[in-house]
Amino acid sequence: MVKVLEQLYEGKAKKVYKTDDPKIFKVHYKDDATAFNGLKKGQILEKGQYNNQISAIFFELLKKKGVPNHFLSLDGERGMLVKSLEIIQVEVVVRNIVAGSLSKRLGKPEGTKLPFPILEFYYKDDELGDPMINNYHIKALELATADEMKMIEEIALKVNEIMLEYLGPLGIDLVDFKLEFGRHDGEVLLGDEISPDTCRFWDATTQEKLDKDRFRRDLGKVEEAYQEVLTRLTGGSK
């Protein structure tokens, strides 16, 4: 067992701690919730616990399917041990169905199914509001090499395929989701989290939102939505 040392970083939804092994960090999931680049703030009861467990399930699934990621093991209800990463400042969004900002930008109604997945890149910078960028920006800013971006794109699309196949029988539509990556011993790994905070999950039958949009849009029953996702992932009723 590693020994947890001082806090390294605190973000909107998580705290990251050093351990006595420089190649391992501990991530602690918080109940804090933010939206609209931090303009809206609040708390979602037990969100940290739900997101920790949901992310662990997805990371384990992806690891079994050959997707390299930072997850090592759960460490309590709200914590996990992960491989230390040098974060690549490019957020990747994969979209299967029109929703959120894509609906506004393209003038397409939410719920419009896309003919194939769309990949978008965003510059990970809170002060700038995480602006959308493309491969030319990434190259000019030296955020990642061409080979790294090729690998990131391939991993993102593979993650999408695996999650679509997994969530379909559970009655969940994977609308879109955000991924983050980092470098560990020279290897690009999937990092951050995969949860209702970073994904849009809709009930496949009712189209009810089962994600952070319930908080963003004041729809109510936020905690229940997160719990419902975990219930379905762990074999509960749909």
* Structural contact between residues 170 and 54, judged by C-beta atoms closer than 8 angstroms: no
CB atoms closer than 10 angstroms to residue 210:
25
Torsion over CA of 49, 197, 210 and 217, rounded to 10 degrees? Answer: 120
Over residues 191-211, the pLDDT tens digits come to 999 999 999 999 999 999 999
| Amino acid 35: pLDDT | 80
Cα separation values, 89 from 83, 124, 140, 159, Å: 17, 5, 13, 19
Q: Does domain 87-221 have CATH number 3.30.450.40?
A: no
Q: What is the largest CA-CA distance in the chain?
A: 52
Q: In the structure encoding, which two tokens stand for residue 83, read together? A: 């491989």
Assigned token pair, 117 = 């997945």
The DSSP 8-state label assigned to residue 170 in this structure reads G
Question: What confidence tens digit (pLDDT) does each residue in 53-64 have?
Answer: 999 999 999 999
Does the structure show a pLDDT above 50 at 238?
Answer: no
Q: Which residue intervals of 32-145 are DSSP H helices?
A: 47-64, 101-106, 135-140
Q: What is the 3-state secondary structure (H, E, C) of 200-224?
A: EEEECCCCCECCCHHHHCCCCCHHH
Chain-wide mean pLDDT for the chain? 95
Choose among 175, 171, 168: nearest CA to 238: 171
| Each residue's pLDDT tens digit, 18-47 | 999 999 999 999 998 888 766 678 888 899
Mean local confidence (pLDDT), 89-114: 97
Q: CA 132 → CA 96, 118, 139, 215, distances in Å?
A: 18, 13, 14, 23
pLDDT in tens, 149-188: 999 999 999 999 999 999 999 999 999 999 999 999 999 9
Topology of domain 4-83 in CATH is: Phosphorylase Kinase; domain 1 (3.30.200)
Domain-by-domain residue ranges, the chain? 4-83, 87-221
Contact 197, 212 (CB under 8 A): yes
How much is the pTM?
Answer: 0.94
Quick one: average pLDDT of 80-102?
97
Residue type, 14: K
Question: Does 237 have pLDDT greater than 50?
Answer: no
- Give dist(CA 111, CA 205) in Å, integer: 13
